[in-house]
Structure 1
């Protein structure tokens, strides 16, 4: 059984007047991917193509171009908000990725994972191609800072094969490919990043479990409850507060979803781990400044 891969849109600057290419590229990305600015460095100007598809809960952009730099500034993050995690796989060329905490270099076959709510700069000094997976925030743990993954990872090699199939043979993509992509990215992140990511990922996958607790999370990832608390404290947080925020975010998404308006507020609250409707209403109002009924 195959999974539907639907084309969202496609663009090329090749046939655009050279003077208008950058503006056209920035406008397209603003609508199809993320708000950014672009600076080309080739004599012929920006020559770039992008194909955007959807499969399951994920979107993917297949991007190719000549020498250029794209930047998502702090101003763009405020003016054009985007609440996603991006996983960008470099297929050809080399790249530099600047962010608030440093600089990463990437070669062909390597991947960088980052948060679109924070500013960054992505530069390519030679012709390039990348496959960029756009992951809705509610489906993935938080990424506190950009993380680079090397090409020698078995999980990354499997991910590359799958993403290339989505791009080249969409009619043959197996059912559940989006979940496979998420599982591979989670395996990468939990194995190559800090234990805090593994904790957040476990929490995000068990938000509906009414027995979810710091002790259960700590046991699942092999550490003490005290050490788990220290990991969250380094970010000014606690495991309990993180669980509450993520549960509220999932419930808020469901409350705003017209496809499930038939579900009661109490049902949705229970689905995301809230045992009491009154407690859910109280913490929802405290978090968002209005009661959950305002979304119905």
Structure 2
């Protein structure tokens, strides 16, 4: 069967898709599941293992050169044979982050078993077969090969590549797992919008984290700064976020972290504050969170009190949060 993959979205926005087999006639679930994956993630030849009705769900986020997915499914086998690939090329590299349930992976070189906390990187246009004997959950990240070449080692990669993204992983591996997980978790929230996503410059963050993972770039000061920034952006809602916690996530001492930020012309505390103000400003002026009180927006982005939010916001933007919201509303709906 030949599937027509949807094109990557334009650089001007994101696209969110959702799918569930709930409510579908059992005999048509596999067919619909295949069709959704062809449109939203990777075209696959899918079959069940035990003959029972399939249950699957998927939430997808499309970015200009990347796609993310949160996947749940009952026992099944997914395959991309050589003939299937010829009919359904993707032009993508794929990383599968196992979060629940064991799985197996076969390619021409042999087989790999994957357990929760491990990720597997592979070329989606090389033949493979994956199997899940029981229910599973995973996060998936696909990257266009054109973008992947920016960070791939010149000496090439031995695929499949398996790495830990849990406590046993390197700072970059853990940070990439957190970035994907947190982004997809926010997609599960009701009425989520693109302004709610922790991904300004998100594709660049992924690439900067992949460098140390692939061995194409060591943990330079620049990559450590990127690690720290990624961690901060993913934890802005934590009012108790500390330099000690950020340093531990980046795998450096607090003193080293301070030097890294100083070299960039800022401090850890100042950077956190500016990021909180930036996210809050976007929420106030986008028009998509007008139902939320101003104080609630401040609280959501880690400000301890309305007075602290109002004072620092005015220092940064020259007006109060409420004034910024009203000005944005007037510009959007002039009288």
Range of TM-score over shorter length: 0.5 to 0.7
In angstroms, what is the RMSD of aligned CA positions?
Answer: 2.2
2:169 equivalent in structure 1: 153
Cα distance in 1 for partners of 2:53, 2:97 equals 24
1:133 equivalent in structure 2: 141
1:101 equivalent in structure 2: 109
Per the alignment, in what secondary structure is the counterpart of residue 14 of structure 2? strand
1:31 equivalent in structure 2: 39
* Structure 1 unaligned blocks of 5 or more: 191-197, 200-296
1:80 aligns with 2:88: yes
Closer/same/farther in 2, CA of residues 181 and 37 from structure 1, 3 Å limit:
same
Closer/same/farther in 2, CA of residues 173 and 56 from structure 1, 3 Å limit:
farther
What is the Cα deviation at residue 121 of structure 1?
Answer: 0.7
Once the two structures are superposed, the pairs formed by residues 117-132 of structure 1 within 5 Å of their partners are 117-132=125-140
2:203 equivalent in structure 1: 178
2:78 equivalent in structure 1: 70
1:18 equivalent in structure 2: 26
Once the two structures are superposed, the pairs formed by residues 1-296 of structure 1 within 5 Å of their partners are 6-42=14-50, 44-55=52-63, 57-140=65-148, 141=152, 143=157, 145-150=159-164, 151=166, 152-154=168-170, 155-169=172-186, 171-190=196-215, 198=216
List per-residue Cα deviations over 1:112-169 (Å, max 9, x = no partner): 0000110101111121111111101011136452111124112222112111110112
- Contact 1:5 1:53 survives alignment (8 Å): no
Cα distance in 2 for partners of 1:106, 1:164 equals 18
TM normalised by structure 1 equals: 0.60
TM normalised by structure 2 equals: 0.53
- Contact 1:99 1:121 survives alignment (8 Å): yes
Number of equivalences: 190
Which structure ranks higher in relative contact order (CA pairs < 8 Å, sequence separation ≥ 6)? 1
Cα distance in 2 for partners of 1:144, 1:166 equals 28
- Contact 2:95 2:119 survives alignment (8 Å): yes
* Structure 2 unaligned blocks of 5 or more: 1-11, 188-195, 218-335
